Amino acid sequence: MVTRVFCQTVLHTVSARPLRSAILRLIPRTALLPWLSSRAVSVSEWPLLSSPPRDYSLPNPSWSTEMRRLYEYYDSLCEKEMEGGEKKPGGWGRLPSYNRTLKYAAGGKCLSKLLKEKARLFTRNTEEQGAAFEYVVFMNKSEKRCVCIFQAGHLLEGPPGNVHGGAIATIIDTSLGTLAGYLSGIVMTANLNINYCSPIPLGSVVLIDSVLDKVEGRKTFVSCQVTSSDGSKLHTEATGLFISINVGHLFGG
């Protein structure tokens, strides 16, 4: 709390770039948890929020039967607290997903001003359920792997009846970036290499299965396959390179 108020107050008043960058380097990583996305955070970790933000990774009425079936399957593999406080081991965890980044993390005026009040996460920028990116990410920490269940909405059309290649790249970047961020902290995409093997029908549900290939210093190499929900058809393959950065890099430091 003290750190947060300190950061907000100082950043609000400091405009000199080098000094601002130095201060941003001091902000604890927890101040950017939603950007890291990743380590399943609970809303209670954002005490300055007046109301809990919507978790977009939870089922909503637009989800198809197949989307729900897959959600329930992976949810059943998740670690759960049982009666008596014991945890049912599962190895998997669902990651919450919000449509804003720094404002929720810091809760204060300063950072929301830096990023502008209207900024929204690209993949969560419409309130119309089912229209664009409906997805949920399940992480398996010990396997260094995550699975994203993705239902492509009608606003993502590219070739008639099929999903736009840029939208596919976006959900791949999100899945790979979530895995890299989970494993390596704050990262940015340096390189994405995508092979489009077969079109993804609009409205269908696909699985994006991402794994860690290797970590070399600041470089995290990850890769994924996008398949039909039953795994029988390969739609897309991709590799990604993510570079670990200081927080200040996001602000031009």
- Site residues for ligand MFK per CB under 6 A: 34-35, 37, 101, 121, 173-174, 177-178, 181, 188-191, 217-219, 241, 243, 245, 249
Nearer to ligand MFK, 129 or 191 (CB): 191
One-letter identity of residue 203: G
Nearer to ligand MFK, 52 or 161 (CB): 52
Nearer to ligand MFK, 87 or 214 (CB): 214
Please say whether the dihedral angle defined by the alpha carbons of residues 140, 146, 149 and 155, taken in this order, is positive or negative.
Answer: positive
DSSP assignment letter at 36: H
Q: Is 75 a catalytic residue?
A: no
The answer to whether the CB of 237 falls within 8 A of the CB of 225 is yes
Nearer to ligand MFK, 33 or 202 (CB): 33
Nearer to ligand MFK, 134 or 173 (CB): 173
> Which tokens in the block code for residue 196?
């489009």
In angstroms, give the least distance from the CB of 33 to ligand MFK. Answer: 9
Nearer to ligand MFK, 60 or 191 (CB): 191
The answer to whether the CB of 219 falls within 8 A of the CB of 241 is yes
Residue of 55, 75, 173, 230 marked active site: 173
> Which tokens in the block code for residue 213?
């290939």
Across 181-216, b (16+ Cβ under 10 Å) vs e yields: bbbbbbbeeeeeebeeeebbebebbbbbbbebeebe
In angstroms, give the least distance from the CB of 121 to ligand MFK. Answer: 6
Q: How far apart are CA 56 and CA 173, in angstroms?
A: 18
In angstroms, give the least distance from the CB of 240 to ligand MFK. Answer: 9
How far is C-alpha 73 from the chain's CA centre?
Answer: 20
Q: How far apart are CA 93 and CA 40, in angstroms?
A: 7
In angstroms, give the least distance from the CB of 81 to ligand MFK. Answer: 25
DSSP string, 144-162: TEEEEEEEE-GGGB-STTB
CA angle, 193 as apex, 189 and 198 as ends, to 5°? Answer: 130
In angstroms, give the least distance from the CB of 77 to ligand MFK. Answer: 22
> Which tokens in the block code for residue 217?
């210093």
Could you give the residue numbers annotated as active site?
173
